[in-house]
Amino acid sequence: MNIKDYIESGIIESHVLGLTTAEEAAEVEAMAKEHTEIKQAILDFEILLENQTNKDLIQPDASVKTNLNNILFAANSSEKNITSSQVNAASVHHINLSRYIAAAAIILLIISSGLNFYFYSAFKNSTDKYQALLTERNTLQANNAAYKTKLDEINQSLGMMEDPHMVKIQMNGVKGKEENIATVYWDTRTKEVYVLSNKMDKLPEGKQYQLWAIVDGKPVDAGMIGFDCAGLCKMKVINHAEAFAVTLEKQGGSPTPTLSDMVVIGKVS
């Protein structure tokens, strides 16, 4: 496994944020024990997340600290002012002191709850933003992979077209459909057949183009022309033929050609 690709896959960040499954978490922990690069990547993201949270920290208003100090000071003064002549009222002062301490505890609880809520909101916001970025990156990677696949298919097709062992048969449009053009490339060594839809009418719903080889004067099914060919579409192997033609058939093909829906035809030189 490529460690760099594993780190860049987003699994490290998802693990730190608690977004991985139990199996994925176990895998990351096992990989961290085995590879120092992964362990360091986990530590780096934890530090980054902590720094981001601290950057957005909102300090409590200064008045909160002042009010809290006043309450505690008042409670402390009340305790010190108890004299021997006030022994009978000691219990009353003790109750008041308890109330002050309870009030201070409530204030601290409110502050703590507020900070906890803030940290949770900040963490959730950061997690949502990261998840959105991760999804966007994965989508871009998937699109790039799809584009690369199509580009590879086109480059491969260009190489095949230039192969001297390939016989090129141009199929021109029949009467009434002259604007249609397609080309067959026939490998003289392997007898494999490929077709290129140079310019073909848009397919009606539920229809598909079907290639036919004319062998000894009879049409032989050479396969359905695919919808997603980036370059040459690979068809069925044909050992010999006098001509090739394309008809418009129902989706999935037909055992015999619909001659009234023939689109292009070309003879083998």
Predicted local confidence at residue 269, as pLDDT: 82
Predicted local confidence at residue 100, as pLDDT: 53
Least confident of 76-80, 229-233, 244-248: 76-80
Over the stretch 170-213, which tens digit does the pLDDT of each residue have?
A: 999 999 999 999 999 999 999 999 999 889 999 999 999 999 99
What is the spatial distance between Cα 222 and Cα 265, in angstroms, rounded to a whole number? 13
Strands annotated E in the chain: 166-173, 181-187, 193-199, 207-215, 218-224, 233-234, 243-250, 262-267
The pTM of the full predicted model, rounded to 2 decimals, is 0.46
* Residue 112 neighbours by CB distance under 10 Å: 10
Closest CA to 187 of 214, 199, 169, 200: 169
Tokens of 96: 């008041």
Residue 38: pLDDT band (50, 70, 90) is: confident
Q: Give the CA radius of gyration of the chain.
A: 39
Tokens of 194: 């490929």
Tell me if 216 sits within 8 A of 259, measured CB to CB: no
Over the stretch 217-234, which tens digit does the pLDDT of each residue have?
A: 999 999 999 866 767 889
Predicted local confidence at residue 45, as pLDDT: 78
Residue 266: pLDDT band (50, 70, 90) is: very high
With a pLDDT cut of 90, the percent of the chain lying above it is 32
Q: Coil, strand, or helix at residue 58?
A: coil
Q: Coil, strand, or helix at residue 168?
A: strand
What is the spatial distance between Cα 265 and Cα 243, in angstroms, rounded to a whole number? 7
Predicted local confidence at residue 24, as pLDDT: 86
Buried b (16+ CB within 10 A) or exposed e, 129-152: ebeeebeeeeeeeeeeeeeeeeee
Residue 89: pLDDT band (50, 70, 90) is: very low
Predicted local confidence at residue 83, as pLDDT: 47
Q: In this structure, what is the dihedral angle of CA atoms 8, 9, 13, 15, given to the nearest 10 degrees?
A: -130
Chain mean pLDDT for the chain:
76
Is the pLDDT at 163 greater than 70, yes or no? yes
Predicted local confidence at residue 82, as pLDDT: 45
Chain center to CA of 115: 34
Tokens of 243: 């001509």
What is the spatial distance between Cα 224 and Cα 254, in angstroms, rounded to a whole number? 9
Predicted local confidence at residue 210, as pLDDT: 96
What is the spatial distance between Cα 170 and Cα 181, in angstroms, rounded to a whole number? 8
Residue 62: pLDDT band (50, 70, 90) is: low
Q: Which has more pLDDT, 165 or 136?
A: 165
Residue 121: pLDDT band (50, 70, 90) is: low
What is the spatial distance between Cα 237 and Cα 147, in angstroms, rounded to a whole number? 28
